[in-house]
Each structure stands twice: as structure tokens, then as C-alpha cells.
Structure 1
């Protein structure tokens, strides 16, 4: 969620996952750099090189600009020729130095250094070097939606660490909405599971043993958003539980936090410091705001690690441009996609099966996508928020209530 729009400031820490210590780092002044085109070409001698056309949203002086390359095992094989440069609003073409690659498949993307921090950009593409030739055959992979920034080049994600599951187990289904599943297993996700966390939101208030009602602030504070592209501050007053559901309410109400005024105020919950998990099935049953047949605003159900992007960010659901989308952000990139069909105007289940080396996404019990590159293994906590991007006026609706019937996590 944090990396979706614009090049997000990645200070020495985290993204939506440890997320930027968070608010302060997410708000740090990081310039937007846009990739207009990116390709790899090969020469008869087996040497390959990359060409990228980029521009800045304003004049930006970069410490370095390069095309980063990662092999299938995560090894760094960047193209040579990183340069210091100043970008303007007109496109500039960067051509790397040449190198030969061992036979195999590689991912590549534009990366730049600014204020001593590396940042990487969409799209993330791939090419295959032919056996014994080093010849590159470009083959674009799934890339994030237009305008989405992917995480900063960094060291490989850490090895698996023990999870810290929550203590709650599923209880009865909500009474005010259509019946939910029994909670014995995730909807449509195969395997043998046991529950490690659940909130059915059947009480009259948010369970403070499981959730925080804002983004990395004191329990009663209004906080800034995780992503600098968002137009809403987050207030505990916009988070309520009733009628068997969690309500995250967005209102068009100018709200000032840290000297910045946001046009909206909304609701967010996170389990950071209370429950986090390594691997498992994550599922939520959600009623998202709608704009006609499209999903309105930027509703999200996601998980994040403590050190972004190294620990990763798992986006189970993001409402982007009216569609229901999914991504996985890590130092290797931010691949993802959007599901076909309509997932607004009613209750829908959004789930993900995170295992070593892959995340498979299920909407209403049907597989809609799978990501097998850059999957991290550090613990992640849960986040749900009813965000809004003011620049996407076509699908923004306020007031709007994102409702959550339940959130559940299972492990093998």
C-alpha cells in the first residue's frame, strides 16, 4: 500500500511493512522520477545493455542513476555505468554499459540514489540470457499499475524468523451482514489449516488487544498516512465497531497533522506490536465503497514488515482505479495485478496464501493471481484502511464507509 503511487521515501527502514518509522519517513521529501521506457538489447558478441528513458516531475539532482538487475537467486548483477545526473521534466535517455550474463532469467528495473538512499521504480521487467550466448531476450513481467513505485534496491530479504501469532480464535459470524464462513479454513485456499488469529468484530468497540486505531501514534492521536500520495489523515474517531462489523469511515474534513493539512480524515487499524505472522493464509470479508460499478477510493487490506522494503509488503487488496488489485513489494520489485470482475457494491472475501517463495491471491474463493519473485520471509503485521488519493477524482467518494465482517489468519 505504501509504495503504490509515486517514489516513496525509503529512509533507512521500512515500507508499508515496517513502514517508515513511519509516518515521518513516509513524509520525507523524496522526488518523483518517472520511467517512460525501459528495454534490454543484445549485441552479436553476446554483450547486453539497457536503455531507459526517464524524467522528473521537477528538476532533480540524483547522486546516481542505473538499471538494476537481479538473477533468479537474488544475486546483484546490475548493468555497469551508473551516473550522477540532473533530471528535468523533459525525458532523458540513459544507456548503461555492456556486460555478458550467464544463461538464465533476470529481472531489471531503474534505480536511483537520492539523499544517500536508493529507490527503485516500476516497471519491473525480465529478460532471458541464452545458453552460452549471453543474448538477452526481453520479456516484460507483471508490473505495478502506472504511477506505482517499487521498493529500493537493497540486500536480500532476511531468512525466516519465528512468527508471533495473536491469541484470538474465530468466534461466531456477524449478525448484521450476510453470513460469513465458519472460520474453520480460508475460503477456497487448499491445505490443512489451524487458526492463529481472528477478529469477528461482534462487540461494541475495537479490541485494543489486537488493533491500533491509527498509524504509528499515541492511542488517541490523529496521525499522518503511510503513503505521501494519500489525502487523508487517520483518526481513531473514524474507527468504530457495531452491527457485527468494523467501520472505517472517510469524511471530507480538512485535518492538519504535523503542519500539513489533508482534505480528508479516515479510519485505519493495524496489528503492529500486537500480532504478526510469517507465512499463512490471510483473509478478510470486506464491503468496499463503490462508485457505480467500480471500487471507490483506495480501500486496502495488507500486511507489512518492520523493515521496509527488506521485510516486504503483502497487498492482499488495493482498490486502484476502480479495480481490485494485489501486489508484493520487496527489494526485488513490486509485481502484481488486478482481478477481472466487479468486487464492489457487496460483501467479498479477499485472501492470500503466503508461503516460502510464493504468494497466491484468492478473491471470493477463486485464485486471481500468483507472485513468485521477491517473496520475503520476515514477520508481517496486518493493516486495513479506507484511503483516498485526491488526484483520482473519478473514483473518489466521501463520505464513505469501508466495512469489515472479519479478519482471520491461519497457518499449517
Structure 2
């Protein structure tokens, strides 16, 4: 457990030996819960039949097998993405069978739109990190094919929003043809009040993002640099890490017969004590 002493307490214990009270807080203790370097290949078309026990650690995609089935779940085919729920002109529906596969030590996420109709979106969820209260979440990613109309919101989302209305923590987020940002949505806020941090970094290069979430404190890192720090109405309920990719929300529309692709080299998750 992290322990922070007040100035008075430090002085009482340290002046006797002529020491100066330290100004830095004690480092948090992280315990690695899950890591995946995507060394088990999975062909496109195997992330199927995922509508089982969704949003729980018992969720699964029956088209997967072995260690991948045990470790990963995907939003089922036909679930609407955010743009569709908000009635945007071009939205998407999740379609894991046509958008997800693992090869060459990477998870590949290729969203696409046909000659007409919706975007085919994709979200994957590491099951070991479902329903965790506080933690550290790291991934290495790039968008290897950029196109207008596609975005990410890799987020922490409450397993139950009772008492945690509007709770959400995002990094990386925003449209793939723009820059990467992080967002800390304030617990029980009205109108979705949030802290936002635009990193100014684009999606096309390899990036490493980290979310650190602990009591009263959210920190966002990109490529080893602190890019955001929020202490306002920090969520305190169990949340899950949803690696969510979907239709754009900034007014851009995915053109017919286009696609865009993200590659993820690894993910890691820690619990906090």
C-alpha cells in the first residue's frame, strides 16, 4: 500500500536525526496480472460467436481455442459502435470475424467499409483485467494504414455504472488521421465533464501508451513521457480495459470501399496495491 506522510509527521520523525523531509511521494506498487506478446497465430475468421457471458471473465468467443480463447474476448458481431448509437450518418457495427487476426507477433485490427453500409468495427478485451479496481495498462501500437473516418478509444469502462455515472478513462483516443489524446471523465459529472490531453503525436509511428489509475489519481504516459495528470472526481469502481476501435466521431465519414489498420505488438496490465 502506498503511504504518504504529512509534513508534520515527517518533521517529528526526522528532525531528531537532522534529516530533511523528502518531497516526492512514495512510488505505487504494481503487480503484473497479464501480458501478451501475441506469439500464438490466429487466422482471420476465428474471432466468432463471441456473444457469451459478455463483460465478465467468463466471456468467450467459441471460434477461438486454447490460450487465446482463455485470454481474449471481443465485442460480438452486430453490436453498434458509438457513432451508430449516436445516430451519425456513418456509423459501425462490431464484426470481429472480418476485422481481427494475430500473426507475426502482432494483433491486427483492420476496420473497413464496403461499397455501402456501415463500418465494420472491432474491440478486444483481455479477460484477466475485467473488473479491476485501479491498475496500470500499457500497450505498444501503431496505425499502419491511415484512412479518414476511423478512430480508437482504448478505455477503462465500469462493469456497473451504479455510483459511477460517466466514468471513463481513455488513452489512446481520437481519429486515426489526427493526433492521439487522453481523456479522464469525471465521476458522476453532468454533461460528460472531463479533462483532456492532446499529445500532438500522430498514430502512424510505433507508440507506447500507459494509463496509471489509482485512488484520486490518473496519469497518462505516451512514449515514456507524462502527457496528462487528473485528480478531479477520479473513478473508484471496478472497470475493464476495452481496446475499442470504431467509426469516427469528429464529423468525418469513412468513404465507401476504404479500410484502416492498427497493429498491436504487446499489452500488459498490472493491479495496484
Provide the C-alpha distance between the structure 2 equivalents of 1:253 and 1:402, rounded to a whole number of angstroms.
18
Q: Which residue of 2 aligns with 1:239?
A: 100
Q: In the alignment, which residue of structure 2 is the partner of 1:89?
A: none
Q: Is 1:302 aligned to 2:137, yes or no?
A: no
Aligned partner of 1:400 in structure 2 is 260
| Residue 276 (str. 1) matches residue 136 (str. 2) | no
Counterpart of 2:46 in structure 1 is none
- 1:290–1:296: 8 Å Cα contact kept in structure 2? no
Question: More deviation in 344-353 or 394-403?
Answer: 394-403
Equivalent residues of 2:171, 2:209 under 8 A apart = yes
Count of equivalent residues: 210
State how far apart, in whole Å, the 1-side matches of 2:32 and 2:212 are.
14
Q: How does 1:233-382 map to 2 (within 5 A)?
A: 233-237=93-97, 238-253=99-114, 262-271=117-126, 275-288=130-143, 291=146, 297-308=150-161, 310-311=163-164, 312-320=167-175, 322-329=178-185, 330-332=187-189, 333-382=192-241
Q: Tell me how far 1:391 sits from its aligned partner.
A: 6.0
SS of the aligned residue for 1:208 comes to: helix
Tell me which structure has the larger Cα radius of gyration: 1
Matched, 1:199 2:36: yes
Whole-Å separation in 1 of the counterparts to 2:193 and 2:115: 32
* Higher relative contact order (CA closer than 8 Å, sequence separation 6+): 2
1:342 Cα deviation after fit: 2.0
User: 2:138, 2:250 → 1: CA distance?
Assistant: 29
Q: Which residue of 2 aligns with 1:123?
A: none
* Contact 1:318–1:324 (Cα < 8 Å) also in 2: yes
Instruction: Show CA shifts across 1:263-315 (max 9, x none).
Output: 211221124697331112111111125659xx972122111112237432111
Contact 2:119 2:254 in 1 (8 A): no
| 1:133-189 Cα shifts (integer Å, max 9, x gaps) | xxxxxxxxxxxxxxxxxxxxxxxxxxxxxxxxxxxxxxxxxxxxxxxxxxxxxxxxx
Q: Matches of 1:309 and 1:395 in 2, distance apart?
A: 35
Shift of 1:372: 0.9
Q: How does 1:126-137 map to 2 (within 5 A)?
A: none
Corresponding residue for 1:175? none
Q: 1:241·1:247 contact (CA, 8 Å) conserved in 2? A: yes
Task: Summarize the alignment of residues 78-157 of structure 1 with structure 2, pairs less than 5 Å apart.
Answer: none
TM-score where L is the length of structure 2: 0.67
Q: Does 1:225 align with 2:78?
A: no
Residue segments in structure 1 that go unaligned for 5+ positions in a row = 1-189, 256-261
2:129 and 2:230 map into 1 onto residues whose CA distance is 27
Deviates more, 1:346-355 or 1:385-394: 385-394
Q: 1 CA distance for matches of 2:82 and 2:125?
A: 11
Q: What's the TM-score, normalizing by structure 1? A: 0.46
- Once residues 244 and 339 of structure 1 are traced to their aligned partners in structure 2, the CA distance between those partners, rounded to angstroms, is 29
